[in-house]
Structure 1
Amino acid sequence: MDGSTAAEGLGALRDGFAGQRMLVTPRSLVREALTLPVTSRLLVTDAGVFPHAARHGRSRVSGAEQHVVLVCTDGAGWCRTPAGTEVVGRGDAVLLLAGEAHEYGADAEDPWTLWWFHVLGGDAAELVSAGHQASGGPVAHLRDAAPVASLVSQVIDGLDAGTRAGTLQATGAAFHALTQVVATGRRSPGPSLSPVERALEHLRATSPRRTPVASLAAMVGLSTSRLGALFREHVGVSPNAYQSQLRMARARELLDSTDLAVAAVASACGFDDPLYFSRQFARVHGVAPSAYRGRTR
């Protein structure tokens, strides 16, 4: 299912997909958040990712209670609204206004991988409406869906935290995702970045937070083994090794340009254990972080 509490008609054709993540905010917390600053204007109520979602579909004859945002990073599907039926392909985003009748479903032969969230609030309504105007309907063709899917993954992480700070993180990421769709969505498909280029953009945008290779592969529409092979071919290292390089590059930057303690540098680079960070830094650079910093001081 896609997490909505406003489902009618067919509902989900299948409940549960291998590798899926789905977060649903308790409605009592939704009601509270809608009375608070920031989240009263834009609030994510549900979010998730459905990899290769065979037989997935939803029909709502009275629409959903929330605005619905879908991002397809692999495979294909379709969407039907009062304006007509449109094919949804890799790199497309679908924006559905609350209260508007709609149906959507995965392609039978090539089912989509779908990143999605539901959102409430005045800012959300304005952004979804602006997206419709920019792309001429509910389906926006993105040159590169990976940055938007990356933001949806941050929405999911924010909801997963289960804290007020996590809710604000989800709100910020959802706002950014919607503005990306409005700013980059087109009326017709165009050339897109390669899967490896999309993966690299996501890793650069989200570093130092580490992205599991399985999640990264789902985001760009590849199997984990295929993504690993393409990474080694085009980048020269594995996805995990590339993420380590990004973290170490950030560590060098902070050691060179700030007076942060080594423990603070470790934390800023995504390492919970300063000793482990120091060992990894020394393994890569041949010297400990403190010695690296002292080489020019």
Structure 2
Amino acid sequence: MTIEDGFPGQRLLVMPRPRVRAALARPGTSHLVVTDAGYFPEARAHGMARLEGVPQSVVLVCVRGAGWCVVDGIRHEVAAGQVVVVPPDAPHEYGSGDASPWTLWWLHLDGRDLAEFLRVAGLSSSAPVRQLSDVYRVVALIEEVVQAMERDQTFASVLAASGAAWHLMALLCSERRVGSPRESAVEQAQEYLRQHVTERVSVDELAALARLSPSHFAARFKQETGSTPLRYQTQLRMARARELLDTTDLPVGLVADRVGYVDPFYFSRQFRAVHGLTPVAYRAQRKG
């Protein structure tokens, strides 16, 4: 026998559906609305079955213990540090583990940006479970949602909850870490490039480190980052160049050298291609 709620210490917030409809039609909240949210500590025998789904997306974050979910007929095990995201209208069930009941932070989401968030994050009925790299940050955002909904149901509180939820979904989109806590080959390559900003690193070298063919590696890098490895390295170098131009009096030639360019004229051309103005003109701009 399973139970849906009623756990000691739980927090459970449900927005009245007329207010949900109003929020979905109002500027500022129409993009993403939290309809329900809560916290279930050590939810022994917790379970839910929605065989026809619900109009909202269901987000569950397991912070302790373990559980399971079935989405569109496929079962997935859920461990501490993982998030489950069920798309709208997808049939689903989920429940707490028997040996080690899970502790959940959860929310339901609606809004016109929701489908795009799920698409960019790579979360779907076939891949609903994601390993979180920083579960505490995610929980802090859901707790912010819960606190806003506990305060009252004014537009200000609904907007605050929507903003925290938008931040949460953007974070899931930026991570895209599926199934395993290990860094992907592309993430490892990005870190390698960050640590070797001044060196000219080729695609062949990065591919060899990742144990992939150059073409396969380049395609994966572009898919996950939206950029080529060379352009990504150029962006890293330009970010460092901006910092040096803003915080030091180093001549442009020395700035070029510090970020890996032997030829200061080539550096200036690259800088202008990225920023639309020369390093000297950039330095002269008022900032802050």
Give the alignment's TM-score, normalised by structure 1: 0.58
- The aligned counterpart of 2:145 is 155
Quote the offset at 1:140 in angstroms: 0.6
Quote the offset at 1:136 in angstroms: 6.9
Quote the offset at 1:134 in angstroms: 9.1
Q: How does 1:1-80 map to 2 (within 5 A)?
A: 13-80=3-70
Please give the per-residue CA displacement for 1:114-165, whole angstroms capped at 9, x wherever unaligned. Answer: 0011111121222123333599710011122110011000000111122211
CA contact (8 A) 2:55 2:89 kept: yes
Please give the per-residue CA displacement for 1:219-272, whole angstroms capped at 9, x wherever unaligned. Answer: xxxxxxxxxxxxxxxxxxxxxxxxxxxxxxxxxxxxxxxxxxxxxxxxxxxxxx
CA contact (8 A) 2:32 2:114 kept: yes
2:107 aligned partner, one-letter code: F
2:81 to 62, 71, 91: 91
The 1-side partners of 2:122 and 2:68 are apart by 17
- In the superposition, relative to structure 1, how do residues 186 and 123 fare at CA in structure 2: closer, same or farther (>3 Å)? same
Structure 2 counterpart SS, 1:155: helix
**Gaps in structure 2 of 5+ consecutive residues:** 184-288
1:81 aligned partner, one-letter code: V
The 1-side partners of 2:167 and 2:126 are apart by 21
1:170 is the counterpart of 2:178: no
1:119 is the counterpart of 2:109: yes
Quote the offset at 1:112 in angstroms: 0.7
- The aligned counterpart of 2:263 is none
The 2-side partners of 1:135 and 1:176 are apart by 22
Structure 2 counterpart SS, 1:103: strand
Quote the offset at 1:41 in angstroms: 1.4
Quote the offset at 1:30 in angstroms: 1.0
Quote the offset at 1:49 in angstroms: 0.5
Aligned residues: 182
2:156 aligned partner, one-letter code: A
The 1-side partners of 2:43 and 2:115 are apart by 27
Structure 1 counterpart SS, 2:122: helix
2:145 aligned partner, one-letter code: V
Q: Which has the larger displacement, 122-131 or 18-27?
A: 122-131
Larger radius of gyration: 2
- In the superposition, relative to structure 1, how do residues 46 and 62 fare at CA in structure 2: closer, same or farther (>3 Å)? same
1:33 aligned partner, one-letter code: A
1:106 is the counterpart of 2:96: yes
Q: How does 1:252-291 map to 2 (within 5 A)?
A: none
2:159 aligned partner, one-letter code: L
The 2-side partners of 1:144 and 1:38 are apart by 28
1:75 aligned partner, one-letter code: G
CA contact (8 A) 1:96 1:128 kept: no
- The aligned counterpart of 1:182 is 173
The 2-side partners of 1:135 and 1:121 are apart by 18
The 1-side partners of 2:123 and 2:18 are apart by 33
Quote the offset at 1:82 in angstroms: 2.1
- In the superposition, relative to structure 1, how do residues 172 and 70 fare at CA in structure 2: closer, same or farther (>3 Å)? same
CA contact (8 A) 2:39 2:104 kept: yes
The 1-side partners of 2:97 and 2:40 are apart by 14
Give the alignment's TM-score, normalised by structure 2: 0.59
Q: Which has the larger displacement, 72-81 or 131-140?
A: 131-140
Structure 2 counterpart SS, 1:36: coil
